[in-house]
Structure 1
Amino acid sequence: MKRLKQIVNELKLTQAAPEAALMREFIFYSPKMPLRLHQEQLVAASKQFSLEVFDTYFAHSDVTINCFSWGNGKRKVLLAHGWASKALDFYELIIELLKIDDLEIIAFDAPGNGSSISEFSNLMLYAGSVKSIALNYAQPDVLIGHSLGGMANVIALQELEITPHLLISIAPLIRLKENFEQSLDSVNIGAKHQDLFFDNFAKEFPVSASHFNLTNLYQLSTAIDHFLAFDPADHISPYSFLKEFLDKYPAIKSKSFEDVGHYKILRSLEVIDDVVKRIYALPML
């Protein structure tokens, strides 16, 4: 978090002519919050293991993700956290899932997040983490993703060409470019310099940031049981984008949860209860 504050202060001081490298660092550096005592205790009760994810764009080499597992059931539930988050931010949900028989609950810290060391992170590293777990540890029967993790789950499933029993997206990001714009706006970066950032983005990845729009990218079968939970007043993942997405894919079940916000939605008792009921309702393997 200290480094992020330094970046923000530097950008605000140089907003008339911000450095391209500093804007890049601001977007791709994920701040880290330490575990709280109750989260540390849950980590201590987990099985811990590490996997590799290839970083195509930053390190150009394998990076390590730290993974955690609770339970040893036949049905595998994989949790994918959001930006500037970590596996244990699902603490309240994990505690409730542990009450369900025959589950193994799997979570990970994406590169550059939580305990997984990497200078920068991005959506494709999140999706790569989901793929690495599915290919090298266990194929998930249920995937639950929050925010960027929701977008990553969809991309990973489409690349893996697998069909889970249940996909749950909690306040998923729909448009990555607009999320970047929101972040750059927050430090008063003007349109001209934002254009420079997006030009550089397209050269580095090499697709435009607008390519990462779930409304256009989504190709999952209508046979997948996909549930989406959202707060209509969410400012990080605006309802206007969600509505466009849901209108285009009517097979996706959705439910509005008011006054929970983008981050607190993960701790909402109502949301957790709904998620748990949907997993309970799945047929036994």
Structure 2
Amino acid sequence: MSQTAQNSKPEPTVQVPKVILYTGRFLQFIAPSIAAKYAQRLFITPLKHKMPKREFHMDKNSQQASLHIPSIQKDIITYTYGNGKKKILLAHGWSGRGTQLVKIADHFVKLGYQTISFDAPAHGKAPGKLTSMPEFIEAIHEIDKQFGPFEFAIGHSLGGMALLNAVREGFQIKKLATIGAADVITDIILHFTRTLTLKDSVATKMKAILDSKFGRDIDYASASNAAKEVNIPTLVVHDEDDVDVAVSCAYAIHKALPNGTLHITQNLGHRRILGNKEVIEKVEDFLLR
């Protein structure tokens, strides 16, 4: 395990609009069950952020196509970047997009690889407004069918969680790297409802709604649970100052992995870590050694 130090502090977490906070509190006052339904709807509604200039060249120079995912009857957008014969799958996180791992993509394209990334359902240029991690996982499996085989995969945040689950379900790669991945879904829900300034009882009701929706305990898909069945070499990268996903998630995932390596950084936060030169070189060293 090593540490990367930077002088500037991590970026702050996304601020929740006051109208959403007030609405949640009002519904909670009327009935916690109504507040739980409201929160659950927000939980599966990603935000679509404007693409920053640093990603423009990848957007311009990649081959993009719409890909239908039969298992969920939704479409995603795929990005084929570079001309290498060996392929790496890149998976963005919640409210991300297919060009978000641009610095990582640029690095590996220069090394002779081709990267395949995607806008998950309801993300980026993909249609729709609602989605969830199970749909990320289904997208990964369909991409593997259409674009595979892949040498490696790299996932950020929810993308890392989805890749761990996909590998558990049979996605064949040689090595995996996760960056800033969260862990226990119940904890994610609790963090989400607390961010909305709602009572913990709302989180309990919200989880029950999601369990019913997906037909099983959603904690089955928690990263550390999936990691127990991921036998390939896996690198877990996380920043100890991540204000969106606690670094404890990385330790739990690493502990569960049969063949894991842990790399902890400092002062990079949840998103800047994706463009950090030392982190990218660490991922390269792990995947290619």
TM-score range, shorter chain: 0.7 to 0.9
Q: Which moved more, 1:116-125 or 1:152-161?
A: 152-161
Q: Which residue of 2 aligns with 1:31?
A: 47
| Cα deviation, residue 242, structure 1 | 2.7
Secondary structure, counterpart of 2:206 in structure 1: helix
Ranges in structure 2 where 5+ consecutive residues have no aligned partner? 1-15
1:37-116 correspondence runs (5 A): 37-54=53-70, 56=72, 62-101=73-112, 103-116=113-126
> Match for 1:123: what amino acid?
M
Q: Deviations over 1:138-172 (max 9, x none)?
A: 2211100011101101111222252x122111111
Superposition misfits of 4+ residues, deviation over 6 angstroms: none
2:183 and 2:252 in contact (8 A); partners too: no
> Match for 2:162: what amino acid?
A
> Match for 2:23: what amino acid?
E
> Match for 2:101: what amino acid?
F
2:230 and 2:258 in contact (8 A); partners too: no
> Match for 2:106: what amino acid?
I
- Of the three residues 173, 195, 203, the one matched with 1:194 is 203
Q: Which moved more, 1:62-71 or 1:249-258?
A: 249-258
- Residues 1:220 and 1:75: Cα distance change in structure 2 (over 3 Å): farther
2:195 is equivalent to residue 203 of structure 1: no
2:183 and 2:223 in contact (8 A); partners too: yes
Q: Distance in 1 between matches of 2:177 and 2:252?
A: 18
Q: Deviations over 1:221-251 (max 9, x none)?
A: 53x2211111123343323333233223352
| Cα deviation, residue 269, structure 1 | 2.0
TM-score (norm 2): 0.86
1:263-278 correspondence runs (5 A): 263-278=271-286
Sequence identity (%): 21
1:54 and 1:128 in contact (8 A); partners too: no
Secondary structure, counterpart of 1:172 in structure 2: coil
> Match for 2:224: what amino acid?
T
Secondary structure, counterpart of 2:29 in structure 1: coil
Q: Distance in 1 between matches of 2:228 and 2:257?
A: 10
Q: Which residue of 1 aligns with 2:153?
A: 143
Q: Distance in 2 between matches of 1:111 and 1:208?
A: 22
- Residues 1:234 and 1:217: Cα distance change in structure 2 (over 3 Å): same
> Match for 1:29: what amino acid?
T
| Cα deviation, residue 134, structure 1 | 0.3
Q: Distance in 2 between matches of 1:8 and 1:254?
A: 36
1:131-280 correspondence runs (5 A): 131-162=141-172, 164-222=173-231, 224-249=232-257, 251-279=259-287
| Cα deviation, residue 195, structure 1 | 2.1
Secondary structure, counterpart of 1:217 in structure 2: helix
Q: Distance in 1 between matches of 2:61 and 2:249?
A: 39
Q: Which residue of 2 aligns with 1:59?
A: none
1:7 and 1:26 in contact (8 A); partners too: no
1:5-20 correspondence runs (5 A): 5=17, 7-17=20-30, 19=34, 20=36
Ranges in structure 1 where 5+ consecutive residues have no aligned partner? 57-61
TM-score (norm 1): 0.87
